[in-house]
Amino acid sequence: MMKERVHWIDILRGFCMLSILLDHTEIYYTGGNLIPYDWYVSNVLIVFFFLSGYLMYKQQGFSLSGKMFSIGRSLLLPYFLFTIVLALPKALVHGHSIDWESLLLPILTGRASWFIATLIVSETVFSLFLWITRGKVIPLFLLSFCALVGSVLLTKQSTDYPWCINNALQAVLFLSIGWFYQSRKEVFNRINAPLYTSFLFISLIIIKGYATYKGVHTMIYPMSIDSYFLFFLDMLTSIFLLVNVCKQLPRCKLVEWVGAHSIVYYFVCGGVPLCLSLALEKVGLDYQGAYYSVLIAYALVCIVASGIVAIVYRYLPFMLGKRY
């Protein structure tokens, strides 16, 4: 029996996934971010961790074995299958040497898809925290805060760890916030009103304006955060704002479809913009300084990526741990 999907979660995921596609389109088509990275990219990536924690809350109780099985089937299996299938094409497009070190080492060390690797490790760690604390809020947040401290200390030494451990430890705190939001949803639903939404929007504009003026960076991969206070203020404000907005929006089937299939979009969100950008350059439609051409390239990226995603879900569901 299939679970009923929550439309605002799929809308939020869809919006975030489309934002990531725009970011990658700009990077590959123009050679950089025209819309500054710090304005939105970290925010939409962090939302995925928040939603993962939100969906991990179970009123009937948490099952560690059940969650470990779910992580293995829905995240770890797709990670290995997709990265193995894409390893050779990715190496050829980027002009990398074809040997085991270039093809297999990034996969085995979790570097072939940093976001999925981070999600796997952070969900595993947070699951252990839930099991250890039995879902008690204060011990859970203390452990999550310790994970954040560990992330900061590791990042001071390096930003390139196997399976993105430093990123994953940071993400654990956002999973715990999502879990807490769901566990206290009756309280948080009270701020789901136009007045609070307007306040959050104005607050986010002020935060972004101040960070831009001061040149404060909030990049989460590779991790480059100049002010953790401003970073968390920025991330939490944007999370609550986006949740409020998406809860108030009407149904939007196209965006919801993107959100419901976001994991495959993530595996192709780099390759599709890169290949299309190279193809557009070959036919003389490369970037010449007009942003409308970026929007055209972005529309093509969305269409091609959606076609690939539809094919995978229709004909290759085993790659996602699903049955036909």
Q: What's the whole-number mean pLDDT along residues 76-99?
A: 84
Q: Residue 122 pLDDT > 80, yes or no?
A: yes
CB atoms within 10 A of CB 4: 6
| Distances from the Cα of 52 to the Cα of 9, 155, 179, 181, 323, angstroms | 10, 23, 8, 11, 23
The rounded distance, in Å, linking the Cα atoms of 304 and 301 is 5
Left (φ > 0), alpha (ψ -120 to 50) or beta: where does 58 sit?
A: beta
Neighbours of 66 (CB within 10 A): 11
Q: Within 10 A of 206 (CB to CB), how many other CB atoms are there?
A: 11
Q: Is the predicted pLDDT of residue 301 greater than 90, yes or no?
A: yes
Q: Please choose, from the candidates 198, 72, 182, 83, the residue with its C-alpha nearest in 3D space to the C-alpha of residue 130.
A: 182
**Six token digits for residue 194:** 């136009």
Give the contacts of 284 (CB within 8 A, at least 6 positions apart): none
pLDDT at 318 over 50: yes
Tell me the C-alpha distance between 262 and 242, whole Å: 17
Judged by average pLDDT, the poorest of 102-111, 173-182, 274-283 is 102-111
Amino acid letter, residue 62 = F
Give the separation between CA 156 and CA 85, rounded to whole angstroms: 34
Q: Looking at the predicted structure, is the pLDDT value of residue 137 above 50?
A: yes
Phi, psi (degrees; rounded to nearest 5) at 110: 75, 15
Report pLDDT for 192: 86
Cα–Cα dist 232/119, whole Å: 19
Res. 4: pLDDT tops 80: no
Q: What is the pLDDT of residue 198?
A: 95
301 compared with 321, residue with greater pLDDT: 301
The residue written with tokens 């390139």 in the block is: 160
Write the pLDDT tens digit of every residue in 216-233: 999 999 999 999 999 999
- Separation between Cα atoms, residue 1 and residue 3, nearest integer Å: 7
**Phi, psi (5° rounding) for residue 218?**
-130, 45
pLDDT tens digits for range 244-260:
999 999 999 999 999 99
Residue 177 has pLDDT above 90, yes or no: yes
Residue 3 — very low, low, confident or very high, per pLDDT cuts 50/70/90?
low
So what's the pLDDT on residue 1? Answer: 44
Is the pLDDT assigned to residue 57 strictly greater than 70?
yes
Q: Is 224 helix (H, G, I), strand (E, B) or coil?
A: strand
Q: What is the mean pLDDT of residues 211-215?
A: 96
Phi then psi for residue 245, to 5 deg, are: -65, -45
State which H helix or E strand residue 218 sits in. Answer: strand 218-220
pLDDT digits (tens, 9 = 90+) for 193-203: 899 999 999 99
CA dihedral (128, 261, 85, 66) positive or negative: positive
Return the percentage of the chain with pLDDT > 90, whole number.
85
Region 92-114: mean pLDDT is: 83
34 pLDDT more than 70 = yes
Residue 311: how many CB atoms within 10 A of its CB? 11
